[in-house]
Amino acid sequence: MNKGRVTLPITRYRNAVDVSTDDALVVEEPLEIFLNGNPYYLTMRTPGEEMFLALGYCFSEGVIDSMNDVSLVHYCGEENGNRIEITLDPKGQAAKGLEIKAKRLTTYSSCGICGKELVEDICTKLCLREDDVRISICQINDMIGNLEKCQQIFPQTGGTHAAGIFDKDCQLLAFAEDVGRHNALDKAMGKLVFNGKINEAMVAVMTSRLSYEIVQKTGRSGVQILVGMSSATSLAVELAKNINITLIGFAKKGWGNIYTTAKRIIL
């Protein structure tokens, strides 16, 4: 049984004709992340790979840099439950001067925030990208094809996003699929953090649109090229430009819009 999808009875209509049938839906459930025994974050996600999601989220938020900052990560109660507990290493937390504040949010929102100030604030926490990766259009095509082959829930439900992270040779390092695009990226990054390979991340490919949050998350790693199969937002482009990430939107096989740092792409 695939815990990422569920089959339910529906009525399907086509040209004023209805028929009773079954349809596969992606599963969406809440996940709570606790840090040092305290509630930290609540998100809606597709069940599976919860520990990677929690580690990836903490990495993208700057709470941890590697597994050296983590004393323990585990499910609260039964395995594959809806709560993950992370205990931070006291020495690492003290060295960073971390003050953990709860973020009990289910979505991101830019409403009421000045875009310029937001980008400036994020840039102070992110390093400028190196500029030593070059990839071809053919390699982008191959990565998109690789991502599509890895998807198991989307072909059945049409309701998930996928994220793939690749090395400098465009070899797949980590893949994840989730109802939320942010969760998919966090899960993939969490796998790299867990396995000590986050420094090998050079290219990220998303099936979704590219928002500033996605650029921010990839910006915490060494990713130099971020590819999305949908649109990019203006704030995403501004942030990518400021930290020297190559941003490509509307990517399909042989197609794409390069918004920033086009010299990394061999046409």
The residues assigned a catalytic role are 111
Short-list 73, 97, 105, 82, CA closest to 213: 105
What Å distances lie between residue 69 and 88, 92, 256, CA to CA?
A: 6, 5, 38
Cβ atoms of residues 225 and 245 within 8 Å: yes
155: phi then psi, degrees, rounded to nearest 5: -60, -25
Q: In terms of Cα–Cα distance, which of 121, 115, 203 is closest to 163?
A: 203
Q: Are 235 and 119 in contact (CB under 8 A)?
A: yes
